[in-house]
Structure 1
Amino acid sequence: MQKAGLLLRGWTRAWKSVRMASSKLTRQNPLANKVALVTASTDGIGFAIARRLAEDGAHVVISSRKQQNVDRAVATLQGEGLSVTGIVCHVGKAEDRERLVTTALKLHQGIDILVSNAAVNPFLGNLMDVTEEVWDKVLSINVTATAMLIKAVVPEMERRGGGSVVIVGSVAGFTRFPSLGPYNVSKTAMLGLTKNFAAELASKNIRVNCLAPGLIKTRFSSALWKEKAREDIIKEAMQIRRLGKPEDCAGIVSFLCSEDASYINGETVVVGGGTPSRL
């Protein structure tokens, strides 16, 4: 009887050790074995997000409009030992969006996470000078394509028991960036897109949230900061006296896609260095 008791206590300790190790692994890899799609993810904010999701355990499918950019980003991240593949995808083309989803399903048999990061800004000037073609392009890529991608992944997430969508918006959705009227309007629309999809998809255990970066130092935003004098003026107006880095956004997205954020839905997280105009 005493031997049996010792054996039982030994098994109990062993089982607790296994559970603790498993729990520790989960904390270290909060997105373990999740499958993530990240659009416009070969540079800047999208690339930083893709890297962080993969570092946190996800299998990430990155995408971009140009094959050479995809190849370069995949080689970099795979060279870091991360589970990353890539495909060319112009989010404004329905056939490319379909191929992006199909590729993830072929490689990983499911989709758990979508980060919609693709955006364009082809215009600088006054709203009264914006052509119909510019409006069509900005709204098609920044808003409609995001909605269509969400629509495409929802059935796959539902089959997995749920999922997480993060829409990359901008503080331009809250406050006007001078001379960027169509872009500002599109980012305001994405706040509404987040709220409406979050409400509709909650019953399917799919959460939809939004990341709103401030001025992040990337190639995409370079027109706003490439002149040193302009950069200094911008930093003076901020509570945190520096421009953001892509990595400042990545951890927030990973958190929003994890179980730690399971009670967060329909929200927008601003990563803007304390931009006064947002307050």
Structure 2
Amino acid sequence: MNETSPARTVIVTGGTGGLGAAVTRHLLDAGWRLVVPWYVEAELDRVAPHPNLETIRADLSDEQDVEAVVECATKDEARPLYGVVNLVGGFAAGRRVHETPIEVLEAQLSINLTIAYRVIQAALPELIRHGGGSVVCIGSAAAVRPFPGAATYVASKAAVSALVQALAVEYAGDNIRVNGLLPTMVDTPANRDAMPEADRSSWARPTDIAEVIGFLLGDSSRAVSGASIPVVNVAGSD
């Protein structure tokens, strides 16, 4: 069997973002059927129409919208839901804990942890029904190598890694694998614009992350679950 199977469906949250567009292209090229929820209409320009791509407007903090996404992903019984890729996330930094309102922590937990939890929770019954699947979440290298001024972000991403490990144990008996990626800064246009003077030599490239996600979804990684995998630009090139 190839790395992926065209007879399977994957939900990719954040699939129209700076990282997500690269992941979407890679998985479509590999033959997956994709369901990509979107919230900002302008981001749809990043993904070209494709016969195996379905986009759906959704607020992933809303339970009914999440259910609609899963329903879209499960309407084709010939290509059952097999994978969930959680790319939605946000970043906040700049102040130390005693200077940071609790609302910042709550917002970081909401976008980085709660949305992933909600989408996975909604998809799990379908993965179980079809005999298993693969879930991939985006954490952060900062979760294991924190830096000052980003405690709320670090805590939320560390929680994502903990969720990955807990899910991997809970659903191993259902043949559901759950893994997380720990990228350094991701080399997207938005991050380049925000930090024009930064040293980008170790920034993780979206295309590299997409290839790792493709591997984790595919059958060749069937023995990998509960992993937190660093993703960096090892070559140190643009």
TM-score, normalised with respect to structure 2: 0.90
Instruction: Indicate yes or no: 2:2 matched with 1:42.
Output: no
State the Cα RMSD in Å.
2.1
Q: Verify: 1:251 aligned to 2:211, yes or no.
A: yes
How far does residue 203 in structure 1 lie from its aligned partner after superposition?
0.5
Q: Which amino acid aligns with 1:184?
A: V
Tell me, in whole angstroms, the C-alpha distance in 1 between the residues paired with 2:16 and 2:84: 15
Asked whether the equivalents of residues 205 and 233 of structure 2 are also in contact (C-alpha less than 8 Å), the reply is no
- Report the CA distance shift for 1:220/1:130 in structure 2 as closer, same or farther (over 3 A): farther
SS of 1:103's equivalent in the other structure is helix
**What residue number does 2:153 align with?**
183
What amino acid is the match of 1:147? Y
How far apart, CA to CA, are the structure 2 residues paired with 1:223 and 1:131?
Answer: 27
- Structure-1 separation of matches of 2:214 and 2:49: 17
Q: Which residue of 90, 97, 102 corresponds with 1:127?
A: 97
Q: Which 4+ residue blocks in structure 1 deviate beyond 6 angstroms? A: none
Check conservation: 1:171, 1:272, Cα contact below 8 A. no
Is structure 2 residue 221 aligned with structure 1 residue 261?
Answer: yes
For 1:114-153, list aligned pairs within 5 A. 114-153=84-123
1:214 paired with 2:188, answer no
Contact 1:54 1:84 in 2 (8 A): yes
- Could you tell me whether the CA contact under 8 Å between 2:205 and 2:232 is conserved in 1? no
Equivalent-residue separation in structure 2 for 1:33 and 1:171 (angstroms): 33
Aligned to 1:68: 42
**Residues 82, 132 of structure 2: 8 Å contact kept:** yes
Structure 1 residue 165: Cα displacement: 0.2
| Conserved? CA contact 1:91–1:118, under 8 Å | no
The 5 Å alignment of 1:1-279 reads 26-27=1-2, 30-70=4-44, 72-74=45-47, 76-78=48-50, 83-107=52-76, 110-222=80-192, 225-227=195-197, 230-231=198-199, 235=201, 238=202, 243-273=203-233
Whole-angstrom CA distance in 2 between matches of 1:266 and 1:220: 30
CA offsets 1:37-89 (integer angstroms, 9 cap, x no match): 0001112221211211111110011122123323x244x152xxx51111122
Looking at structure 2, the residues matched to 94 and 268 of structure 1 have their Cα atoms a distance apart, in angstroms, of 28
- 2: distance between equivalents of 1:177 and 1:47? 28
Question: Which is bigger in relative contact order (C-alpha 8 A, separation at least 6)?
Answer: 2
- Distance in 2 between residues matched to 1:83 and 1:197, nearest whole Å: 28
Amino acid at match of 2:81: I
Q: Write 1 or 2 for the structure with the bigger share of helix.
A: 1
Offset of 1:104 from its aligned partner? 1.4
Q: Secondary structure at the match of 1:112?
A: strand
Pairwise CA distance, 1:122 = 4.2
Distance (whole Å) between structure 2 residues aligned to residue 251 and residue 52 of structure 1: 7
The 3 A distance-change label for structure 1 pair 88 and 112 is same
SS of structure 2 residue aligned to 1:91: coil
Mark the structure with the bigger radius of gyration.
1
Residue 66 of structure 2 aligns to a residue whose secondary structure is: helix
8 A Cα contact 1:35 1:59, kept in partner: yes
Shift of 1:132: 2.0
Distance 1:220 1:107, change over 3 A: farther
Q: Match of 1:269, as an amino acid?
A: I
Judged with a 3 Å threshold, the aligned counterparts in structure 2 of structure 1 residues 223 and 130 are, in CA distance, closer, same or farther, namely: farther
Q: Is the 8 A contact 2:7 2:80 kept in 1?
A: no
Letter in 2 for 1:155: P
User: Residues 214-251 of structure 1: CA distance to partner in whole angstroms, max 9, x if unpaired?
Assistant: 12211453466322xx32xx63xx5xxxx332101001
User: Any gaps of 5 or more consecutive residues in structure 1?
Assistant: 1-25, 275-279
Aligned-residue offset at 1:262: 0.4
